[in-house]
Structure 1
Amino acid sequence: MLKYSTMDTPVGPFTLVVSAAGAVRAAGFTTDVPELLSLVHPMLLEPARAVDATEADEPVRAYLDGDLTAIDAVPVEQHTAGAFMRHAWRVMRSIKPGAPVTYTAFAELSGRPAAVRAAAAACARNPVALFTPCHRVLRTDGSLGGYRWGLEVKEWLLKHESGD
C-alpha cells in the first residue's frame, strides 16, 4: 500500500506518495493526491492512504532548511517503457543544486545530444518533483521554460538552491 503526506513549504503545499519500502513514487507542489497518483506508472500503482509523515518528509524539511543535498539519498521508484527516459531520470538526479543545465546540455549528459525534445519530455513526465530535479533544467536561452507545478515554484527552487 502507498502512503502519502502533505507538508507546508514556502511555495505552498508539497505532497509525497511513498511505497511501503519508503521509495518516493510521486511528489509535487499540490494537495491533489489523485493528480499525483495519475503520474505513477500503472505497474507501481497501489491504493494509497494518508499518514502523518513519510520517510521522505524529514529530508524534504532539511532541504527546505538549507541542506540542499538532504534529498539526494531518498530512493525513488519511477517507471516508463522507454529506456532513454529511465536513463534521463537517473542522469537528472545527478544535476547538482545551484548548477542548472539547459535542455541541450541535459540531452548531452544523457548520452543523446540530438535528443533535446526527448530530454524535455523526460522533464515533463517526471513524477517525483524535487527528488528527480527537473526544475534544474532550463531552456537553451537560460529562461525557466515550463514546470508542472508553476513557474513561481521553479523560480523559488532555483533561487533557494543558488543561495539568493
Structure 2
Amino acid sequence: MLKHHTIDTPAGPLTIVVGPSGGVRAAGFTDDVGDLLPLIHPKLHAQAQPDDDIGPVIAHVRSYFEGDLGALDRVVVEQHIAGEFVAHAWVVMREIKPGSPVTYSEFARLSGRPAAIRAAAMACARNPVALFTPCHRVLRLDGSLGGYRWGLPVKRQLLAHEAA
C-alpha cells in the first residue's frame, strides 16, 4: 500500500507518496495527493493512504530546507517508465548538483544523447518525484526558467535556496 504525507516547506506544501519499501514514488508542491497519483507508473500504482510516518524522507526534506542541500541525495526514489532514455535521464538528473543548474542541451549531453534536447525536456516534464529528482535544476539555453509542473515561483524559490 502507498502512504502519503504533506509537509509545509518554504516553497509551499509538498506532498510525498511512498511505496511499501519507503521509496518515493511521487512528490510535488501541492496539498492534493490526487495531483500526484496519475504520475505514478501503473506498475507501481495503488491507493494511497494518509500517514504521518512515511519514513526518513521527511527528515531529509527538512534538512534540505535548513541548508543541507545534499540531504535529498539520501532519499530513495522508485521511478519506472517505459523508455530507456527517460529512465536513464532521471538517474542523470539526480546527479545535477544543487547550485549548479544545467541547460536542457547540457542535460541531453549528460544523458548521453546530445541531440535529444526535446527528449531531455520530456524527461523533466514526466518526472513524478519533483524535488528528489531535481528537474527544477534544468533551464532553457538562455538561462531562463522554462517550465515547471508546480509553477515558476516554486522553481525560482528552489533555485534561489540552492544558490544561497
Q: Structure 1 length normalisation: TM-score?
A: 0.98
Alignment match, 1:128: 129
What is the CA–CA distance in structure 1 between the aligned matches of 2:11 and 2:96, rounded to whole Å?
Answer: 22
Aligned to 1:101: 102
Measured against aligned partners, the alpha-carbon deviations of 1:58-113 in whole angstroms (never above 9, x if no partner) come to 10000011100001021101111100000000000000000000000000000000
**Residue 17 of structure 2 aligns with which residue?**
17
- When the two chains are superposed, the root-mean-square deviation of aligned CA atoms in Å is 0.6
Runs of at least 5 residues in structure 2 that lack an aligned partner in the other structure = none
How many percent identity over aligned positions? 66
- 2:30 alignment partner in structure 1: 30
Matches of 2:145 and 2:24 in 1, distance apart?
25
Distance 2:92 2:13 in 1: 27
Distance 2:121 2:89 in 1: 10
Residue of structure 2 equivalent to 1:60: 61
Runs of 4+ in 1 over 4 A off after TM superposition: none
Mapped to 2, the partners of 1:139 and 1:122 lie a distance apart of 14
Q: Which runs of 5+ in 1 are unaligned?
A: none
Q: CA deviation at 1:53?
A: 3.3
* Matched position secondary structure for 1:72: helix
Matched with 1:78 is 79
